[in-house]
Structure 1
Amino acid sequence: MSFLPSRRRRRVLLGAAALTAATIAVAGCATQSPESGGEGADGDFSGQTLNALLITSHEGAGNWLKEHFEEETGAEVNLTIVPYDEIGSTLALDQQSGANTFDVAAPWYVSIGDLAEGGSIQDLTDWIDETPSLDTDDFIPSINDPYTLVGDRRYGLPFDGDTHVLFYNKEILERNGITEPPATWDEYLADVKTITENEGDDGVYGSAIFGQKSPLILGAAYANRLAGFGGEFVDEDGKPTINSPEAVAAAEALVDAVPYAFPTAAETDFGVGNGAWYDGKVAFIENWTDLGVGSE
């Protein structure tokens, strides 16, 4: 879906307004620090174990990488999978309690500062600088720096930086006489209302809204609308603008769509929403680009 210019009166729908990324970080008390080299310096990690902490949506990729990493290195990889909004607290508790279960983790990048300050993850700056094979000059600076830097020190390596977009099911739109995807949030509301009123009794709804209490996921849907209405989270002085007319209109637009969403919006998480999408039960879903795999 293409970008549209932000015009307040048109209530513009932005196809991509929220960004997220995951960062690989080394746990603060990992059994072997990157600098130490050790027996695995030549790529042979036979007899060693790597305990990794990942989020639910990365489980499939994690299992695939686990299989290939074990085959290529001889190491044993143990994966622990937790919900997206629990990975930071899980990692911090592991280190603070002294359990020191995890060697590496992939936390949400906004938690890097707190994790670094609390000693839950290691400073990797010197190791990164001394490992030319990482080729960090090839990383996009606007992703690499915000996702790994705390002050002037790096605490991880980014491996996932993607865009929040609006996906739509062409077949459902066509069944309901909708010939084009919406270009504004008003059009989006009209479309989801039409679809739910026509097919809701058959278990097909206008949209899936991730309303479960998760600041990142629900916040991304709000950010899409905030950008579309021409609003900002903060002004030029860094002061919150959450009560601005644009911010209020964005919240109202999200609330207005809830009655036409897959039930129940307040309980819909990644698993429920994505399942409804793949089952052809919703016409629209706001998600990150990896949802496109398997959506054709």
Structure 2
Amino acid sequence: MRTPSRRRPPRATLALAAAGTLLAPLLSGCWTGAGGAGSGGDSLNVLMVNNPQMTDLQKLTAAHFTKDTGIKVNFTVLPENDVRDKISQDFANQAGQYDVATLSNYEIPIYARNGWLREMDSYVAEDPGYDERDILAPMRESLTADDGRLYGQPFYGESSFLMYRKDVFAKAGLTMPERPTWTQVAELAAKADGAEPGMKGICLRGLPGWGEVMAPLTTVVNTFGGTWFDQDWKARLDSPEFGKAVKFYVDLVREHGESGAAQSGFAECLNNMTQGKVAMWYDATSAAGSLEAANSPVKGDMGYAPAPVERTRTSGWLYTWAWGIQKASRNTDKAWQFVSWASGKEYEQLVGEEIGWSNVPAGKRASTYANAAYRAEASAFQERTKEAIEGARPHDPGVQPRPAPGIQFVGIPEFTDLGTKVSQEISAAIAGRQSVESALKKAQRLAERISEEYEGR
């Protein structure tokens, strides 16, 4: 173990530093919150990301939840980066302006550790109709903090899998293995490259961002035997396994991937897939709903296979947009009523009947996958999605013990900054502006700064 060159600060100081790292981009300027002026009485303030499932919720709330409970819900809906910033400001300051917010399984354990969230076990115990045991186990576990208590309820969940054009494979005489390895995927990408005019073999994210290129790439690192940090917090981005995984990913997307890969994220790959520009795509299971939508040009032509592996049994990630209740809220009981409704079985039924079963915020409840109407609408991918989520291993995603949970991220506050900076180096390698070796040398130095704070803890 490498010894830091300076005396390690007390653990309490480290905790504050970690929170500060998470919030540094937000608190470096003047915060203009409401100074504690939040909701009250029969009113709730909810801050959420502007994903389609959330906008459906916004449309249905007044006519159903408010009508039944008398509780008015004031929504603030923002793009992902903006909503994360605003949530961090309000919850870190415990300003109480927002009662409920959408948080992921990355933030919830960190926020709970910092005392920013209201625990939910007591509400679950008094609300048997909510049926907590129906929530898929990986989702429950990912929203449980170090103290063993729940601090979030999932609105929808996802893992990752491999999507491919069945019709293109059939014409080219290609067969997708039942459980493909990355080696097999690379071979298929080479053969599918050019199968149709202008078609590339595969789409993989290359866009900088800890939640963009680093999400799929980290699952590849895991299954190739690499890890960001070993169990003693030693940075391992310079390990042979990490290097092999990154070189494989970069080479694959450069040789057989989409054009402009260094600027391609989820949205760009979705467009490439629907427009027939790629034969395969490895990404979030939630993408399948768009690919199988009524207006999708590739509806019915898609096949779905598990996330490719090399040395691990599974490699799919685990992610959920979930509801968290701010501890400073003056309306926590009514906030739970909203959370219970928005994440409950009845809400899914409501979406299916009023908007369409393909729009159901799935990926969180076992009962969803037993619902005949949902199964019929999502028959092409629903079993694969459920299998991927249930097979996700956030506490054991690789071949060695880890010091923090997470599959496509490391569950520490500093990862937002570290992951983003490393992603910029990887993206530069995908763009051909530097070698993988050069990118990882810089990335290792960045990770070693985190090691200095965490080693020996």
TM-score (norm 1): 0.70
Q: Structure 1: how far apart are the matches of 2:96 and 2:198?
A: 46
Contact 2:45–2:97 (Cα < 8 Å) also in 1: no
Contact 1:226–1:246 (Cα < 8 Å) also in 2: yes
Q: Deviations over 1:166-219 (max 9, x none)?
A: 1111223344x24212633233223323444555xx442222221112223323
Contact 1:205–1:261 (Cα < 8 Å) also in 2: yes
Q: CA 1:231 to 1:118, structure 2 compared with 1: closer, same or farther past 3 Å? A: closer
1:167 maps to 2:163 = yes
Higher strand share: 1
Q: Structure 2: how far apart are the matches of 1:287 and 1:253?
A: 17
Contact 2:112–2:145 (Cα < 8 Å) also in 1: no
Partner secondary structure for residue 158 of structure 1: strand
Q: How does 1:63-102 map to 2 (within 5 A)?
A: 63-74=55-66, 75-83=72-80, 87-95=83-91, 102=98
Q: Structure 1: how far apart are the matches of 2:229 and 2:173?
A: 36
1:115 maps to 2:115 = no
State the match for 2:237 in structure 1. 242
Partner secondary structure for residue 205 of structure 1: coil
Q: Structure 2: how far apart are the matches of 1:139 and 1:76?
A: 25
Q: How does 1:28-43 map to 2 (within 5 A)?
A: 31=38, 39=42
Q: Structure 1: how far apart are the matches of 2:219 and 2:109?
A: 25
2:212 is aligned, of 217, 222, 226, to 217
Figure out how many residues of one structure are paired with residues of the other and give that number.
250
1:129 is aligned, of 125, 135, 139, to 125
Partner secondary structure for residue 216 of structure 1: coil
State the match for 1:252 in structure 2. 247
Q: CA 1:262 to 1:195, structure 2 compared with 1: closer, same or farther past 3 Å? A: same
Kindly state the Cα deviation for residue 240 of structure 1 after the two structures are TM-superposed.
Answer: 4.4
Q: Structure 2: how far apart are the matches of 1:187 and 1:62?
A: 37
Mark the runs of 5 or more structure 1 residues left unpaired by the alignment.
1-28, 40-47
Contact 2:39–2:98 (Cα < 8 Å) also in 1: no
Q: CA 1:115 to 1:227, structure 2 compared with 1: closer, same or farther past 3 Å? A: closer
Q: Deviations over 1:135-189 (max 9, x none)?
A: 22333444313323242443211333332111111223344x2421263323322
Amino acid at match of 1:190: E
Mark the runs of 5 or more structure 2 residues left unpaired by the alignment.
1-35, 67-71, 293-298, 301-457
Partner secondary structure for residue 254 of structure 1: helix
Q: CA 1:153 to 1:88, structure 2 compared with 1: closer, same or farther past 3 Å? A: farther
Contact 1:88–1:108 (Cα < 8 Å) also in 2: no
Q: CA 1:174 to 1:142, structure 2 compared with 1: closer, same or farther past 3 Å? A: closer
Q: CA 1:86 to 1:79, structure 2 compared with 1: closer, same or farther past 3 Å? A: closer
Amino acid at match of 2:77: T
Q: How does 1:150-165 map to 2 (within 5 A)?
A: 150-165=146-161
Q: CA 1:272 to 1:72, structure 2 compared with 1: closer, same or farther past 3 Å? A: same
Amino acid at match of 1:69: T
Amino acid at match of 1:221: P
2:185 is aligned, of 184, 188, 191, to 188
Q: Structure 2: how far apart are the matches of 1:230 and 1:185?
A: 13
Kindly state the Cα deviation for residue 222 of structure 1 after the two structures are TM-superposed.
Answer: 1.8
Q: Deviations over 1:83-129 (max 9, x none)?
A: 3x554333112445787554322222121233335555433343333
Q: Deviations over 1:36-75 (max 9, x none)?
A: xx65xxxxxxxx4543312x5xx22112222222211234
1:61 maps to 2:61 = no
Contact 2:39–2:97 (Cα < 8 Å) also in 1: no
**Percent of residue pairs identical:** 22
State the match for 2:280 in structure 1. 284
Q: Structure 2: how far apart are the matches of 1:86 and 1:159?
A: 19
Q: Structure 2: how far apart are the matches of 1:96 and 1:142?
A: 27
